[in-house]
């Protein structure tokens, strides 16, 4: 099957999952008990089709990581993390934010023949894998922070009904947020450590911005976890710091890639 058709099918599945989650939310507002299995199953179908799209990117002996390929790969692992998290915890509402974005990325996808490739050793593959997982966890935490911010604002306006009734209690939302932040910080620590140990020159010209901004994001998340444990930081502070850490990682990776490949016309692995 043509990869463009697969991308459209993935977009349809992700969009359908988001629509089912929205329909579920509306039914919950009317007091009707509705499960999340159908929405997650449709999201899982999209993930399976998404897997078919990334198979040409990850070769047996090389990894093709252009700007478009990174978007595709990041979206894939983000869908995986979202599905796993929603199956184990009340995090399915994250799909209301993330599944439409994933569907949009599929609609914008244009298949291209991979140019070149990066040959990776086992330890460097571990670095790449942990970095990708860390980024996905930070994005999940950012989406959770946005939902928490919306829920907090509505509660402060004494709107305890409506969409707020769809969310878990505020304490549960904050606990889940800091669990995601903790996992992201741990995985990002592994990614940075493996990079310093196994990558020959982590501060090479094409990696310096990514490395520095990743370290800044690591410091932001670490300080947030320390402040939460030591001073009980929560609420707006947690939301702002989480979004700041996610912005640093996004700017460090996608921003640099966009400048190098789109504006300067250079290839960067």
Band of pLDDT at residue 168, cut at 50, 70 and 90 = confident
CA 23 to chain CA centroid, nearest Å: 23
CA end-to-end span of the chain, whole Å? 28
Is residue 247's pLDDT more than 70? yes
Work out how many domains the chain is built from and give that number: 1
Packed helices 95-107 and 67-88: angle between N→C axes, nearest 10 degrees = 150
Domain-located, residue 74: yes
Domain-located, residue 152: yes
Domain-located, residue 42: yes
pLDDT of 32 reads 81
Band of pLDDT at residue 262, cut at 50, 70 and 90 = low
pLDDT of 110 reads 79
pLDDT of 2 reads 80
SS3 per-residue string spanning 46-75: HHHHHHHHHCCCECCCCECCCHHHHHHHHH
C-alpha 209/C-alpha 251 separation (Å) is 9
Domain-located, residue 268: no
Of residues 1, 85, 3, the one with CA closest to residue 43: 85
Residue-wise pLDDT for 113-148, tens only, equals: 555 455 555 677 777 788 888 999 999 999 999 999
Specify whether the backbone of 162 is left (phi greater than 0), alpha (psi in -120 to 50) or beta.
Answer: left
Is residue 242's pLDDT more than 50? yes
Mean pLDDT, residues 94-116 taken together: 83
Question: Are the C-beta atoms of 98 and 106 separated by less than 8 Å?
Answer: no
Domain-located, residue 114: no
C-alpha 240/C-alpha 162 separation (Å) is 25
Domain that includes residue 214, residue range: 3-108+120-263
Residue-wise pLDDT for 51-92, tens only, equals: 998 877 665 455 556 667 778 888 999 999 999 999 988 899
Domain-located, residue 29: yes
Average pLDDT for the chain: 83
Domain-located, residue 269: no
126 SS3 class: helix
Q: What are the φ/ψ torsions at residue 204 (nearest 5 degrees)?
A: -65, 165
Q: What predicted TM-score, i.e. pTM, was given to this entire model?
A: 0.84
pLDDT of 123 reads 74
Mean pLDDT, residues 144-160 taken together: 81
Band of pLDDT at residue 19, cut at 50, 70 and 90 = very high
Question: Are the C-beta atoms of 242 and 145 separated by less than 8 Å?
Answer: yes
Domain-located, residue 207: yes
Band of pLDDT at residue 250, cut at 50, 70 and 90 = confident
Of residues 175, 176, 78, the one with CA closest to residue 134: 78
Band of pLDDT at residue 9, cut at 50, 70 and 90 = very high
Band of pLDDT at residue 29, cut at 50, 70 and 90 = confident
pLDDT of 269 reads 47
Question: Are the C-beta atoms of 264 and 222 separated by less than 8 Å?
Answer: no
């Amino acid at each position: 099957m043509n990869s463009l058709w697969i991308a459209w099918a993935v977009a349809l599945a992700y969009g359908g999952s988001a629509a089912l989650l929205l329909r579920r939310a509306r039914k919950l507002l009317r007091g009707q008990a509705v499960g999340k299995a159908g929405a997650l199953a449709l999201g899982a179908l999209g993930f399976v089709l998404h897997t078919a799209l990334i198979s040409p990117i990850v070769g047996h002996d090389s990894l093709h990581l252009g700007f478009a390929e990174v978007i595709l790969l990041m979206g894939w692992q983000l869908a995986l993390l979202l599905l796993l998290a929603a199956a184990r915890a009340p995090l399915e509402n994250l799909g209301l934010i993330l599944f439409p974005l994933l569907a949009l990325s599929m609609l914008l996808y244009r298949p291209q023949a991979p140019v070149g490739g990066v040959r990776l050793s086992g330890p460097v593959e571990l670095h790449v894998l942990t970095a990708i997982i860390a980024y996905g966890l930070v994005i999940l935490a950012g989406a959770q922070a946005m939902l928490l911010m919306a829920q907090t604002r509505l509660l402060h306006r004494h709107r305890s009904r409506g969409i707020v009734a769809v969310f878990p209690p505020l304490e549960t939302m904050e606990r889940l947020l800091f669990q995601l932040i903790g996992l992201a910080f741990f995985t990002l620590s592994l990614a940075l450590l493996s990079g310093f140990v196994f990558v020959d020159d982590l501060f090479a010209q094409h990696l310096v911005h990514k490395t520095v901004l990743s370290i800044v994001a690591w410091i932001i998340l670490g300080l947030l976890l320390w402040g939460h444990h030591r001073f009980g930081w929560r609420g707006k502070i947690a939301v702002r710091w989480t979004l700041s850490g996610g912005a640093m990682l996004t700017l460090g990776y996608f921003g640099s890639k966009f400048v190098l490949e789109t504006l300067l016309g250079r290839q960067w692995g």
